[in-house]
Amino acid sequence: MPEQLVFAMEVFLNGLMAGVLYALVALGFVLIFKASGIFNYAQGVMALFSAMTLVGIMKGQVPFAHVINAIFGTDVHYFGWTVPALLAIILTVAVMVLFAWAVQKYIFRHLVGQEPIILFMATIGLAYFLEGVGDLMWNSEIKKLDVGLPQGINEAIDSYTFNIFDYGFFIDNLDIVATVIAALLVGGLVIFSQYSKEGRAMRAVADDHQAALSVGVSLNFIWIMVWSVAGFVALVAGIMWGTKSGVQFSLSLIALKALPVLMLGGFTSIPGAIVGGLIIGVGEKLFEFAIGPMVGGATENWFAYVLALIFLVFRPQGLFGEKIIERV
Amino acid sequence: MLDSTVSYVTEDGRTIGGVVMEMKNITLRFGGVVAIKDISFDIREGEIRAIIGPNGAGKSSMLNVISGFYVPQDGEVLFHGKPRPQMKPYEVAQQGIARTFQNIALFEGMTVLDNVMTGRLNKMNSGLLAQAIWRGKAEQEEIENREKAEKIIDFLEIQHIRKTPVARLPYGLKKRVELARALVSEPSILLLDEPMAGMNVEEKEDMSRFILDVNDEFGTTIALIEHDMGVVMDLSDRIVVMDYGKKIGDGTPSDIRNNQAVIDAYLGVAHD
């Protein structure tokens, strides 16, 4: 087999796995957008915040230590205990549910029926607020996140491919774990929204508020639930990216990578978010591999956006988005 | 006037029970506009109660007060003899009061069957975990709910469009799907906001037949708003007439037919 093709296969596999992570972030957007029509700009910051909270809880950091020390003249930083990863994850989920409740109660409940652009502006405000609170609560240092996920080259794949192609593929164990978890999460979400009572109520709310009320669905409850689920998805994304490249501000920027994914997949489609993520992940890696050297590299920075732009021109509703039909 | 707890039998042999819901001195204002002015009336168990009146009389507002979409400034709603605390629309629905809308509020993206199934949301009890594992109680519940939904779909003769997305249906059928969704929740009171608005004669006849059948077969108490005087006179046991937010008549169809205030409101008065 020609060497180039073998390389391309490795690049393809790595692209698929990067795509899964993009899909994970995009999924958080789709959930909230479907149920409430809000494009949640804060999704990326939610991923950052949840990862920071997870690290903080695991290390036994005192929340708001900086503020406490400044006011009381004390010098506390740590409680002096560490929390096992699983328990810390459960506690972080609780924090994200609390966050969902607060967001609904103090912001979006007062904005029901407002223009989409106003709701969007509110999420921008929310993003900066949450970023500030995160730094204040857990300080802004770059943190290492280790919840015990395996990392490093997968030896089995390496030796297996070496035997076949005379060239060992480099596949990171973390990417494999991320793919499996993302697949489970996506499957779970699809089953949840199609078959559970709450999922059915969620689809009802997404479709028509008045009708949902008339069959006895509490809008408030559904919105809190959706924001909680989005918070949970953000946490999963935060764990994956945080483990990969440390918990730091740039983590919140992965949300921007989710935008082209959404344009490709459609803002209202869960399968669309997955397929869109995979296309972007594979596309940008293969493009860099094949075309990158000719144009001086760094194509990964813009490839996704240009692809999304082309899509916008020819299929504005995305691959799986609901068709836009204007009746006259 | 009959005692509120006494039941009686109608000419066509249906039993009308005591009062289930009573509106007491309801006043509703939007800013300076008084939509409903000090109106009282009651609804008896098993009857078909109509609210009629010219455009802008406040009929829909009244229905919205009953279903919790509007909160009146004054007055109270008594349900089964007890004053009802202020409730959100979804809480009213959970109490067993279902409704349809004048402008149809369906889940356009879902199929007819899915729409009707949402009407069973409040009848589903098993928790998330049970549903996730999809066993025992949850499964049995789903089967039961599905059976109820199919029964209502058969009853309203919409089997042939079960799997059709609602957005593709003509107006008359949409109205019927909305009725199905309200009915499948087995409501104790069914509120219909202009169920025949915008229909042709044939569709109106169908809808009238369904309303009578629902009342007859399930014993459902029905309160409806309607413009068409002829239809109302044929359908209802008792009628409330509203005009400019005030009640100008209340009684059986023959009472209303002979009520001078009602005749004036509908035909206009000669000013001399």
Q: How far apart are CA A264 and CA A192, in angstroms?
A: 24
> How is A185-219 classified by DSSP, letter by letter?
HHHHHHHHHHHSHHHHHHHHHHH-HHHHHHTT--H
| pLDDT given for residue A274 in this prediction | 86
Helices A254-265/A3-36 angle, 10° precision? 90
Q: A214 vs B185: CB contact, 8 Å cut-off?
A: no
The residue among B266 and B239 whose pLDDT is bigger is B239
Looking at the domain assignment, is residue A322 inside a domain? no
Q: Tokens 């050297």 appear where?
A: A293
Looking at the domain assignment, is residue A319 inside a domain? no
Answer whether B188 touches A (CB < 8 Å).
no
The answer to whether residues A145 and A239 touch, using CB atoms and an 8 Å cutoff, is yes
Structure tokens belonging to residue A222: 């559904």
DSSP-derived 3-state class of residue B251 = strand
Looking at the domain assignment, is residue A321 inside a domain? no
The answer to whether residues B188 and B20 touch, using CB atoms and an 8 Å cutoff, is yes
| pLDDT given for residue A325 in this prediction | 60
Q: Tokens 């309160």 appear where?
A: B223
| pLDDT given for residue A267 in this prediction | 80
Q: How far apart are CA A102 and CA A38, in angstroms?
A: 16
| pLDDT given for residue B130 in this prediction | 61
Answer whether B144 touches A (CB < 8 Å).
no
| Residue A249 zone, left/alpha/beta (φ > 0; ψ -120 to 50; rest) | alpha
Which of B60, B67, B91, B107 is most worth mutating to test chain A (most A CB atoms within 10 A of its CB)?
B107
Alpha helix locations (H) across B44-170? 59-66, 89-94, 112-118, 128-133, 136-155
> Which amino acid type is present at position A113?
G
Answer whether A203 touches B (CB < 8 Å).
yes
Model confidence band, residue B132 (pLDDT cutoffs 50, 70, 90): low
| pLDDT given for residue B262 in this prediction | 86
* Per-10-residue mean pLDDT, chain A, length 328: 83 88 85 83 93 94 90 88 93 96 92 85 94 92 88 86 84 88 84 82 86 90 92 92 88 82 83 88 91 85 89 82 60
Query: pTM score, two decimals?
Result: 0.82
Looking at the domain assignment, is residue A326 inside a domain? no
The answer to whether residues A130 and A46 touch, using CB atoms and an 8 Å cutoff, is yes
**H/E element holding B222?**
strand B221-225
| pLDDT given for residue B131 in this prediction | 61
ipTM surpasses 0.95: no
Of A98, A102, A101, A47, give the one whose Cα is nearest residue A224: A101
Sheet holding B33-44, edge to edge: B33-44, B19-30, B74-79, B82-83
Q: How far apart are CA B256 and CA B163, in angstroms?
A: 43
Q: How far apart are CA B141 and CA B236, in angstroms?
A: 36
Compute how many other C-beta atoms are within 10 angstroms of the C-beta atom of residue B190. Answer: 26
Range of the domain at A30: 3-314
Q: What is the nearest CA distance from B73 to chain A, expressed in angstroms? A: 22
Answer whether B121 touches A (CB < 8 Å).
yes
Q: What is the nearest CA distance from A8 to chain B, expressed in angstroms? A: 40
Residue B215 has pLDDT above 90, yes or no: yes
Residue in chain A closest to B64 (alpha carbons) equals A214
CB-nearest to A196 from B69, B131, B182 is B131
| Residue B161 zone, left/alpha/beta (φ > 0; ψ -120 to 50; rest) | alpha
Q: A197 vs B131: CB contact, 8 Å cut-off?
A: yes
DSSP-derived 3-state class of residue A125 = helix
Average pLDDT (B67-71) is 93
Phi, psi of B172 (to 5 degrees): -60, -40
Q: A196 vs B132: CB contact, 8 Å cut-off?
A: yes
Phi, psi of A187 (to 5 degrees): -60, -45
Residue B272 has pLDDT above 60, yes or no: no
DSSP-derived 3-state class of residue B23 = strand
Q: How far apart are CA A184 and CA B44, in angstroms?
A: 53
| pLDDT given for residue A100 in this prediction | 95
Average pLDDT (B102-129) is 85
Q: How far is CA B214 from CA A211, B152, B218, in A?
A: 21, 10, 6
| pLDDT given for residue A156 in this prediction | 86
CB-nearest to A216 from B93, B107, B110 is B93
How many domains are contained in chain A?
1
Residue in chain B closest to A327 (alpha carbons) equals B167
The answer to whether residues A26 and A320 touch, using CB atoms and an 8 Å cutoff, is no
Q: How far apart are CA A253 and CA A25, in angstroms?
A: 11
> pLDDT tens digit string along B149-187?
999 999 999 999 999 999 989 998 999 999 999 999 999
Instruction: Name residues whose C-beta falls within 8 Å of residue B11's C-beta, 6 or more positions apart in sequence.
Output: none
Instruction: Name residues whose C-beta falls within 8 Å of residue B43's C-beta, 6 or more positions apart in sequence.
Output: B19, B20, B21, B22, B49, B189, B221, B223
SS (H, E, C) B27-43: EEEECCEEEEEEEEEEE
Q: Tokens 């978890």 appear where?
A: A181
| pLDDT given for residue A266 in this prediction | 80
* A214 contacts in chain B (CB < 8 Å): 67, 89, 93, 98-101, 105, 182
Q: What is the nearest CA distance from A246 to chain B, expressed in angstroms? A: 34
Structure tokens belonging to residue B201: 């004669």
> Which amino acid type is present at position A123?
T
Answer whether B41 touches A (CB < 8 Å).
no
CATH number of B1-96+221-272: 3.40.50.300
Find the Cα–Cα–Cα–Cα dihedral B236, B240, B241, B247, rounded to 10°: 180
The answer to whether residues B176 and B84 touch, using CB atoms and an 8 Å cutoff, is no
Model confidence band, residue B47 (pLDDT cutoffs 50, 70, 90): very high
CB-based burial of residue B192 (10 Å sphere; 0-12 exposed, 13-18 middle, 19+ buried)?
A: buried
DSSP-derived 3-state class of residue A171 = coil
User: What DSSP character marks residue B111?
Assistant: B
Q: How far apart are CA A177 and CA A173, in angstroms?
A: 6
- Cα end-to-end distance, chain B, whole Å: 35
* B88 contacts in chain A (CB < 8 Å): 213, 218
Of A93, A96, A48, A95, give the one whose Cα is nearest residue A245: A48
The residue among A254 and B129 whose pLDDT is bigger is A254
Residue in chain A closest to B187 (alpha carbons) equals A215
Answer whether A190 touches B (CB < 8 Å).
no
DSSP-derived 3-state class of residue A328 = coil
C-alpha B253, offset from chain centre: 19
| pLDDT given for residue A166 in this prediction | 83
Compute how many other C-beta atoms are within 10 angstroms of the C-beta atom of residue B35. Answer: 22
C-alpha B9, offset from chain centre: 22
A148-167 core/surface letters (b: 16 or more CB in 10 A; e: else): ebeeeebeebeeebeeebee
* A200 contacts in chain B (CB < 8 Å): 114, 117-118, 121
Report the relative pairing of strands B48-52 and B74-79 from DSSP bridges: unpaired
Q: How far apart are CA A128 and CA A227, in angstroms?
A: 17
| pLDDT given for residue B37 in this prediction | 93
